[in-house]
Amino acid sequence: MFVVNDISVAILFCVVTMLGWGSWANTQKLAGKDNWPFPLYYWDYALGVMLAGLIFMVTLGSFGSAGMGALENLDQAGSGPLARAFLSGAIFNISNILLVVAIDAAGMSVAFPVGVGLALVIGTVASYVQAPKGNPTLLFAGVSLVVLAMLMSAVAHSRLPRKQGRGWTRGILYAVIAGCLMGFFYPQLAQTLSPAFNTAPIVPGYLTPYTALVLFGAGLLASNLVVNTIFLKANGLSYAAYFRGSAKLHSLGILGGAIWMIALTFNIIASGVAGPAISYALGQGATLVAAIWGVLIWHEFRGAPKTALPLLLMFAGYAAGLVLIGMSTL
């Protein structure tokens, strides 16, 4: 299987994660321009995640001299790691949909910083406890700056005109639940990987990154049959509406899911060198990428001059935080 052993390459892979996790939602924005509801888009997104995982498994996961091939690994994998990898996909899927509900109820200014901020802190701490790699002082100082940047994002969003009738209390509750769940999907997934998979033989019963990611995708897709069906019905939609969608709309969702999964794959591969905590924390710098898209491309802060200072502090916090997280690998 393909692995990396150089820390500079691992950091580069984490940058790819930032770009992917921060950019996939542009496909949903484009689909929304054609009035394609999120629950319908999300079915294609789930398919895109699974397809990308399968492609990686039969390509990078099956060739090379390191470890073992994905199919061979799947045959010898223990039931515990298989179940945890599958569960991690279900956990992420539930948390991701709950975060969308929270944003709809309370707005981006509250739900996103609460949900993603909690996920960042919980995921980084839990991953570091499992596999302590890197300088903890620099790592958690960087995480603190990223959380501060998220709060500045909340301040900037709060100065935008608000829609009436949002259920803020309900939205915050959903955001907290989403953030707590999202924070645990990555440590759960990382726990299934064979220790030092990039340099040592695969421990019997444990998974290679590529096997784990396919199980993750399967868990996401399977849980979607329940969770997104509920979400679909709550929005007054039907499966018939999904099949009436154009090829363009379906391709946007599949592309969005594939982009997100490519980013996760690069992140997991990088974790063999950088450690899960640093990989995850750097990957969550995706919020900076998303903010850049929102400000420069989608003009989400147009007509709100009072947002200038919070936005400046947000970008500064993200930049400084990511530098400190990167330095913690040295």
Residue 197: is its pLDDT beyond 80? yes
Q: Please provide the DSSP assignment of 185-223 as one string.
A: HHHHHHTTBPTTTTTSPPPTT-B-HHHHHHHHHHHHHHH
CB 246: neighbour CB atoms within 10 A?
Answer: 10
pLDDT at position 146 is 83
- Contact between 282 and 325 under an 8 Å Cβ cutoff? The reply is yes
User: What is the three-class DSSP state of 244?
Assistant: coil
Task: Note the pLDDT tens digit of each residue in 44-100.
Answer: 999 999 999 999 999 999 988 788 999 999 999 999 999 999 999 999 999 988 888
Contacts of 202 (CB under 8 A, 6+ apart): 67, 68, 73, 194, 208
CB 305: neighbour CB atoms within 10 A?
Answer: 8
pLDDT at position 106 is 66
- Contact between 93 and 222 under an 8 Å Cβ cutoff? The reply is no
What's the rounded mean pLDDT across residues 280-286? 83
- Which of 34, 165, 177 lies closest to 107, judged by CA? 165
What's the rounded mean pLDDT across residues 181-208? 93
> pLDDT band at residue 292, thresholds of 50, 70 and 90?
confident
CB 230: neighbour CB atoms within 10 A?
Answer: 11
User: What is the three-class DSSP state of 161?
Assistant: coil
Q: What is the dihedral of CA 266, 271, 274, 279, to 10 degrees?
A: 70
What residue type is 230 in one-letter code? I
- Which of 277, 314, 286, 295 lies closest to 16, judged by CA? 286
- Token pair of 206 as six digits: 């444990």
The lowest-confidence range among 9-13, 30-34, 69-73, 238-242 is: 30-34
Say what the pTM is.
0.87
CA distances to 88, 206, 232, 289 from 184, rounded to whole Å, are 8, 19, 25, 23
Paired with 229 in beta bridges are none
pLDDT at position 80 is 95
Residue 310: is its pLDDT beyond 90? no
pLDDT at position 51 is 97
What's the rounded mean pLDDT across residues 125-150? 89
Residue 65 — φ and ψ, nearest 5°?
-95, -10
Task: Note the pLDDT tens digit of each residue in 214-243.
Answer: 999 999 999 999 999 998 988 899 999 999
pLDDT at position 163 is 58
- Which of 13, 59, 38, 52 lies closest to 257, judged by CA? 52
- Looking at per-residue pLDDT, the higher value among 130 and 167 belongs to 130
The domain limits of the chain are 7-327
What's the rounded mean pLDDT across residues 185-213? 94
pLDDT at position 113 is 74
> pLDDT band at residue 168, thresholds of 50, 70 and 90?
low
Which of 100-103's residues contact partners 24+ apart within 8 Å by CB, and which partners? 100/38, 101/171, 101/174, 101/231, 102/171, 102/172, 102/173, 102/174, 102/175, 102/178, 103/171, 103/175
How far apart are alpha carbons 234 and 97 in whole angstroms?
12
pLDDT at position 193 is 96
Contacts of 317 (CB under 8 A, 6+ apart): 145, 146, 148, 149, 152
- What's the mean pLDDT when you consider all of the chain? 87
> pLDDT band at residue 161, thresholds of 50, 70 and 90?
low
> pLDDT band at residue 259, thresholds of 50, 70 and 90?
very high
Paired with 207 in beta bridges are 193
pLDDT at position 167 is 56
